[in-house]
Amino acid sequence: MSKKNKGFFTFLMGAAAGATALFLSKKENRDKAQEALNDMSDKAQVLKKDWDEDPDAVVADVKVGVKQKAQQALEAVKSKFEKQEVEE
């Protein structure tokens, strides 16, 4: 990595740290972040339990979820292009 790229990376990390500090300076935002963290922790524990019981079922569920999200994204992109074609 060149010296120039290291400086840019340092800048990005500093900007991210500053934005995080600004966001977490309000109690309301800290509470929301804590709630989101707790929710993700609960989901991770459930996923771990499910994985321990039947990894193949978890993989199948993930495949279904990814396929659904991909289909939704594809439909959103198609819709956006259709709207652009109508406007032209």
- Delimit the domains of the chain by residue range: 54-88
- Cα 16 to chain centroid, rounded: 16
Q: What is the pLDDT of residues 38-63, one digit of tens each?
A: 999 999 999 999 999 999 999 999 99
Q: Is the distance from CB of 33 to CB of 24 less than 8 angstroms? A: yes
3-class SS at 79?
Answer: helix
**How confident is the model over 1-45, as pLDDT tens digits?**
555 667 889 999 999 999 999 999 999 999 999 999 999 999 999
Cα–Cα distance measured from residue 35 to residue 41, given in angstroms and rounded to the nearest whole number? 10
The strand ranges marked E within 1-88 are none
